[in-house]
Chain A
Amino acid sequence: MAKPNRAAMIKDEAKKSILLLPAVILLVCFFIVPIILTVYYSFTNMALTGSAAQNFQFVGINNYIKVFKDPNTWTAIKNTLVFLIGSLAGQSVLGFIIAYLMKNKAKAFRSVVGPCILVGWVMPEIVVSLAMLAFFDMSGTMNTILTAAHLPAVEWIYAHPMMTVVIANIWHGTAFSMMNFQSALDNVSGDIEEAARVDGATRMQTLIRIIVPCIKDTIATNTMLNTLSTLGVFGLIWALTGGGPGTKTTTLSIYMYNAGMKNFQLGQGTAIGMVLLMVGAVCSVVYTKVVKSEEA
């Protein structure tokens, strides 16, 4: 066979790639350009509107200095971490427990419990906020239960706002972890478990020594995907507490919105966006690596 020359090969690939073109154009315009603009704007003093929107200058890393000197930024970072760790712990642990306990249970039982967990996940996030707002209201479901148990009612949204949004996110997200762990657990060979049991391992030992190592890739991808979606949560918190009271539930995404869209400080808003984007990119690379290693 004759060796095809380079030019012919490129031409051949270009011809084969034509069908990719619409996708690539859309992705470049509305996905890649915004990312480049985020980087670019974060180094300027541009305002969203007004005269400073046209006459802007490069200000180097001034936006970043300003942002990181602002104590509100550190509050937002702290809030994001609390929200993230609370959500991750709740969603993953609860999701795993449900998946683990559901294994080998009666089919009829599974088909009732499953949808109960899934319903919080299927709901649009604004409905989740509304349901949670009513649930944690002063006269809402939670306090009705507490009063019935002769316990004092609590003003959840004002007294424990972060806990409220974390619980809302756990309610919304647990089903995703549950499904991931269910399919991972289904793939754990029953023989290994059986062998461990015959050797005298307790249920707990089998779980920690056999099952967890078998599903460690799922644990990694699930953690990364939950981290990424939790970092991106905006509507849920915005509709539930608006980031308040004060700044108690202002996470980075809410903080970014306030800086960029409410105070019209495009430069600072995008600098905060960059922080989110960088953290997101790192998690996303880890996620891609894990998927890659699974495929190989």
Chain B
Amino acid sequence: MNEKVTKALHYAILTIIAIIFVLPLVWLILAAFDTNASQALKWPTQWTIGNFVSVLTNTDNLRGFGIGLTISLVESLIVVLVSGLAAYPLSRYHLSYKKQFMYVILFMTALPMIAVIVPVYKMFLNVGLLDSIPGVILYLTASGLPYGIWLMKNFMDGVPVELEEAAWVDGATTMQSILKIVAPLMFPGICVVFIYTFSGSWGNFFIPYILLSSKSKLPAAVMLYQFFGQHGTIAYGPLAAYSIIYALPSVLLYVLSQNYMSKGFNMAGAAKG
């Protein structure tokens, strides 16, 4: 087979795969703008943005988005703060247990946390954290921390220690040197940790689903599940619109993280020149 035919074949295969991957979303988009949407794939006879309006004017829905936003925002801030502090000694000091500690962290990033959710439920029941939004935030924070620490430490390793030495000479404390020197230099890295934690938490379904029970405390992820999980008469148009609104932050944050990701790994240049 000559090179040109092979190349054309590659383009064709990739195009077909890409089309197949987009297909499941076509319904979601068409239905969201259809006045009379069903689960069937069809071109809307009448286009509308009414589905989005009805979703966004419903106070229950707004509360769900608000709770989801609060949980994700608070969790990500705690993860950034706590993992940023933890990363400093792991990156800067010589500690006898450092290597082992980092491997335990790496091990933790990979464990399927669903396996311990039943005891967590029991534990939360006993300490009164069940059906509590702060409880969910705490648990999400702990499950997001290992990856946060792993990323943070690696980003911090990229900030040259020479820059800090100058500050130490001028009498800066550890805290000052973290806040004034390290944090601004690894800002893209901090953004990556924040975005990863935020979208992980925004998309997380099973933790709030299991730990929360009051209808008034459910975040967007669980509300969306309840809309179509109950298999009654489903209003497909608003449902599709709801899921598009709900998916939007994940998509936007991903695009944003790509931007920071490439910057995050290019910080070593600061000590040169």
Contact of A122 with B239 at beta-carbon distance under 8 Å, contacts A109-B11, A113-B14, A135-B23 already known: no
User: Do A22 and B82 touch (CB < 8 A)?
Assistant: yes
Within 8 A of B (CB), among A225-274: 225, 228-229, 231-232, 234-235, 238-239, 242, 253, 256-257, 260-261, 266, 269-270, 273-274
Given contacts A35-B116, A266-B122, contact A116 B86 (CB under 8 A): no
Task: Report B68 CB to chain A, min CB distance, Å.
Answer: 10
> When the two chains form their complex, are residues A134 and B27 in contact, meaning their CB atoms are under 8 A apart?
yes
Check A34 for interface membership: any CB of B closer than 8 A.
yes
Write the B83-100 contact mask toward A (1 if CB under 8 angstroms, else 0): 101101110010111000
* A30, A35, A102 pick with most chain B CB within 10 angstroms: A30
Decide yes or no whether A132 CB sits under 8 A from chain B.
Answer: yes
Given the known inter-chain contacts A144-B40, A292-B103, please indicate yes or no for A270 contacting B251, CB distance below 8 A. Answer: no
Binds B, one of A61-69, A71-79, A211-219, A275-283: A275-283
- Whether a CB of chain B sits under 8 angstroms from the CB of A60 is no
Quick one: which of B21, B23, B113, B118 contacts A270, CB cutoff 8 A? B118
Q: Are A16 and B41 in contact (CB under 8 A)?
A: no
- Given A23-B149, A119-B251, A140-B41, answer yes or no on A37-B122 (Cβ-Cβ < 8 Å): yes
Complex alpha-carbon distance, A32 and B212, angstroms: 22
Residues from chain A with Cβ under 8 Å of B149 in the complex? 23
A75 to B149, CA, bound (A): 38
Task: Report yes or no: B118 in contact with A269, Cβ–Cβ below 8 A.
Answer: yes
Interface residues in B24-60 by Cβ distance below 8 A to A read 24-28, 31, 38-41
> DSSP majority for the B interface?
helix
- A31 at the B interface (CB under 8 A): yes
Name which residue of chain A comes closest to B141, CB basis: A26
Q: Is the pair A19, B122 in contact by a Cβ cutoff of 8 Å?
A: no
**Residues on B with beta carbons closer than 8 Å to the beta carbon of A46:** 122
Tell yes or no: B206 within 8 A of A by CB: yes
Report which of B118, B141, B246, B251 forms a contact with A266, defined as CB distance below 8 A: B118
Q: Is B263 part of the contact surface with A, judged by Cβ < 8 Å?
A: no
Is A139's CB within 8 Å of the partner chain B? yes
Is B61 in contact with chain A by the CB < 8 A criterion?
no
Residues of A within 8 A of B122 (CB): 37, 41, 46, 48, 266
Taking CB atoms and an 8 Å cut-off, the chain B residues in 118-169 that contact chain A are 118-123, 125, 138-139, 141-143, 145-146, 149
Contact assessment for A98 and B108 in the assembled complex, using a CB-CB cutoff below 8 Å: no
B111 to chain A, nearest CB (A): 5
Q: Quick check: B142 and A124 within 8 Å, CB to CB?
A: no
C-alpha spacing A130/B27, complex, angstroms: 10
Say whether B221 faces chain A, with CB atoms less than 8 Å apart. yes
Is residue A193 contacting chain B, with contact meaning CB distance below 8 A?
Answer: no
B101-117 vs A, Cβ < 8 Å mask (1 yes, 0 no): 00100111011111111
Contact for B250 among A16, A109, A124, A171, CB less than 8 A: A124
* Chain B positions 212-249 with a Cβ under 8 Å from a chain A Cβ: 221, 224-225, 228-229, 236, 239-240, 243, 246-247
Q: Are B110 and A235 in contact (CB under 8 A)?
A: no
Contact with B along A14-43 (1 / 0, CB 8 A): 001111101110110111011101100100
**B202: Cβ under 8 A from any A Cβ:** yes
CA distance A10 to B223 in the complex (A): 51
> Which of A31, A98, A171, A256 interacts with B115 by CB under 8 Å?
A256
Knowing that A49-B125, A131-B24 touch, tell me 10 more A-B residue pairs with CB under 8 angstroms: A31-B145, A33-B123, A48-B122, A119-B22, A122-B247, A122-B251, A130-B28, A135-B27, A137-B39, A292-B103
7 contacts between A and B (CB under 8 A): A19-B88, A34-B119, A113-B18, A123-B247, A126-B205, A276-B112, A281-B111
B residues with CB within 8 A of A: 6, 10-11, 13-15, 17-19, 21-28, 31, 38-41, 82-83, 85-86, 88-90, 93, 95-97, 103, 106-108, 110-123, 125, 138-139, 141-143, 145-146, 149, 174, 202-203, 205-206, 209-210, 221, 224-225, 228-229, 236, 239-240, 243, 246-247, 250-251, 254
Closest 10 CB pairs of A and B: A30-B142, A232-B112, A124-B203, A260-B118, A235-B205, A23-B86, A139-B40, A116-B18, A37-B119, A276-B115
- Give A residues with C-beta under 8 Å from B: 13, 16-20, 22-24, 26-27, 29-31, 33-35, 37-38, 41, 46, 48-49, 94, 97-98, 101-102, 105, 109, 112-113, 116-120, 122-127, 129-135, 137, 139-141, 144, 171, 174, 203, 224-225, 228-229, 231-232, 234-235, 238-239, 242, 253, 256-257, 260-261, 266, 269-270, 273-274, 276-277, 280-281, 283-285, 287-288, 291-292
